[in-house]
């Protein structure tokens, strides 16, 4: 039964990737640009699901990690004119370093405190960027000199490739022995410890992977958009959207988080004619899905499939 589910998920993912790679044949540059942003967003959501769905920790500050990556890349490119590949490596390292600095003390706390610490971290980063405006561009944001590409299709394939690689990597981890230990740690840390697992070590490792991918995705995103600003990569509301996307898609599914992210971004874009109402409608739909389908879109689809 389990292998059937896994293969069903596997084939759905392959199918989705093939369709996604063919989309530039039909879609306009504008629609491709919407999807490009959505794919980066999907990586944010998948990284978050590794922490929440598997390690059982609610990270309220995914944008702390994303922002660290995005801003370190932007500063290195803008101030020191480092080439993009170096900036990306540095961004991933900074996010990883910041993530470890945050996670090691925070994961020792019990109950809801981990989540609260991550929430405060976002506010700290946001304030730091405003305070050191000379260096960071402050509230206005900062532009980067280099961009990944000026061609919409090329940008689209960069994002899609990154999404697919991240999805494969994260799914591989989630289905491995470490994924099993992480789930046990998330569900019942005492039981996991009693089986001989260092729960903190495994959770920190999950946080590191999440931080690395989030930081890298944040940096890729700004080299796609050509600018970094607090509103696009750090603001709390971005973090909330990531969380909604991951839950909407389906907890503990990794791929579901990406589906939720694409759904959320594309729906917001399509409802743009509604003006201010569009966020409201999308949020209402998200709320309804979360209340009615607690397993998310993908969780529901997989369960409906196995019940037949």
Partner 1 sequence: MSSRPVLEVRDLRKRFGGLVAVNGMSFDLHAGEILGLIGPNGSGKSTVMKLIMGVERPSGGTIRLNGEDLAGLPPHRIARAGITIMFQHSRPLHRQTVLENIKLALLPDSLLRLATGPEVDRNARSIAKRVGLGHAIDRRPGTLPFADLRRMELAKVIARDPKVVLIDEPFAGLTLTEIAAFSELIRALGDEGRAVLLVDHSVRSIAALADRVLAMYLGEPIARGNAEEVMSNETVRRVYLGGELQPIGQNSRVTADAPSLLQIEQVRVLYGKAQALDKIGLFVRQGECVSIVGLNGAGKTTLFNTVSGLVPYSGTIRFRDDDLRNKSAGEIARAGVVQCPESRELFGTMSVRENLDLGGHLLPANARARQLEMLFGLFPILASRQSQAARTLSGGEQQMLAIARALMMNPALLILDEPTLGLAPVVIEQLSKALGELRKTTPITLLLGEQNVTFALPHADRVYVLDHGRLTWEGGPAKFAEEMGQGYL
**234: nearest Cα among 84, 158, 117, 124:** 124
* Interface pick for partner 1 out of 23, 147, 205, 240 (rule CB under 8 A): 205
What is the C-alpha to C-alpha distance for residues 284 and 245, in angstroms, rounded to an integer? 13
Write the Ramachandran bin of 109: left for phi over 0, alpha for psi from -120 to 50, otherwise beta.
beta
Of 155 and 202, the one with the shorter C-beta distance to partner 1 is 202
What is the C-alpha to C-alpha distance for residues 200 and 184, in angstroms, rounded to an integer? 12
Q: Is 169 exposed, middle or buried (0-12, 13-18, 19+ CB in 10 A)?
A: middle
Of 1 and 18, the one with the shorter C-beta distance to partner 1 is 1
Residue 148: Cβ within 10 Å count: 19
Tell me: does residue 298 bind partner 1 (CB under 8 A): no
Of 152 and 170, the one with the shorter C-beta distance to partner 1 is 170
Task: Give 2's contacts (C-beta < 8 A, 6+ positions apart).
Answer: none
Size of the site for partner 1 (CB under 8 A): 26
Beta bridge partners of 227: 143
What is the C-alpha to C-alpha distance for residues 67 and 216, in angstroms, rounded to an integer? 10
Q: From the CB of 207, what's the least distance to partner 1, in Å? A: 12
Of 171 and 232, the one with the shorter C-beta distance to partner 1 is 171
Q: From the CB of 200, what's the least distance to partner 1, in Å? A: 9
Tell me: does residue 187 bind partner 1 (CB under 8 A): yes
* Interface pick for partner 1 out of 131, 191, 290, 303 (rule CB under 8 A): 191
* Interface pick for partner 1 out of 199, 211, 213, 243 (rule CB under 8 A): 199
Tell me: does residue 100 bind partner 1 (CB under 8 A): no
Of 153 and 183, the one with the shorter C-beta distance to partner 1 is 183
What is the C-alpha to C-alpha distance for residues 119 and 157, in angstroms, rounded to an integer? 33
Scan residues 117-176 and list those touching partner 1 (CB under 8 A): 172-173, 176
Running DSSP on this structure, what letter comes out for residue 176? S
Q: From the CB of 145, what's the least distance to partner 1, in Å? A: 38
Tell me: does residue 286 bind partner 1 (CB under 8 A): no
Q: From the CB of 104, what's the least distance to partner 1, in Å? A: 15
Scan residues 165-184 and list those touching partner 1 (CB under 8 A): 172-173, 176-178, 180-181, 183-184
* Interface pick for partner 1 out of 196, 273, 291, 308 (rule CB under 8 A): 196
Q: Show the beta-strand stretches assigned E in 217-273.
A: 227-228
Q: From the CB of 304, what's the least distance to partner 1, in Å? A: 16
Tell me: does residue 240 bind partner 1 (CB under 8 A): no
Residue 205: Cβ within 10 Å count: 17
Token readout for 239 is 């973090």
Q: CA separation (Å) from 198 to 108, 171, 182, 288? A: 12, 22, 10, 38
Chain residues that interact with partner 1, rule: CB under 8 A: 1-2, 172-173, 176-178, 180-181, 183-184, 187-188, 190-191, 193-199, 201-202, 205, 252
């Amino acid at each position: 039964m389990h292998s059937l589910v896994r293969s069903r998920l596997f084939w759905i993912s392959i199918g989705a990737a093939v369709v996604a790679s063919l989309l530039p044949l039909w879609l306009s540059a504008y629609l491709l640009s919407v999807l490009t942003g959505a794919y980066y967003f999907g990586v944010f959501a998948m990284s978050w699901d590794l922490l929440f769905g598997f390690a059982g920790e609610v990270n309220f500050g995914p944008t702390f990690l994303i922002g660290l990556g995005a801003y370190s890349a932007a500063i290195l490119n803008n101030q020191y004119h480092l080439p993009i590949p170096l900036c990306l490596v540095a961004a991933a390292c900074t996010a990883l370093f910041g993530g470890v600095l945050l996670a090691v003390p925070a994961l020792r706390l019990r109950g809801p405190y981990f989540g609260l610490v991550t929430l405060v971290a976002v506010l700290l980063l946001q304030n730091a960027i405003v305070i050191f405006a000379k260096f960071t561009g402050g509230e206005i944001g900062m532009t980067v000199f280099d961009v990944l590409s000026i061609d919409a299709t090329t940008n689209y394939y960069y994002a899609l490739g990154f999404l697919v690689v991240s999805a494969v990597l994260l799914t591989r981890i989630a289905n491995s022995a470490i994924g099993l230990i992480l789930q046990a740690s998330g569900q019942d840390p005492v039981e996991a410890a009693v089986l001989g697992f260092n729960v903190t070590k495994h959770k920190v490792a999950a946080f590191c992977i999440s931080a690395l991918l989030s930081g890298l995705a944040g940096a890729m995103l700004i080299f796609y958009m050509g600018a970094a600003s607090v509103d696009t990569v750090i603001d709390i509301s971005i973090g909330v959207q990531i969380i909604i996307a991951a839950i909407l898609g389906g907890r503990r599914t990794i791929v579901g988080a990406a589906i939720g992210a694409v759904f959320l971004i594309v729906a917001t874009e399509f409802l743009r004619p509604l003006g201010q109402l569009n966020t409201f409608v999308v949020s209402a739909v998200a709320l309804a899905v979360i209340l009615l389908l607690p397993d998310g879109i993908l969780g529901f689809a997989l369960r409906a499939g196995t019940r037949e």
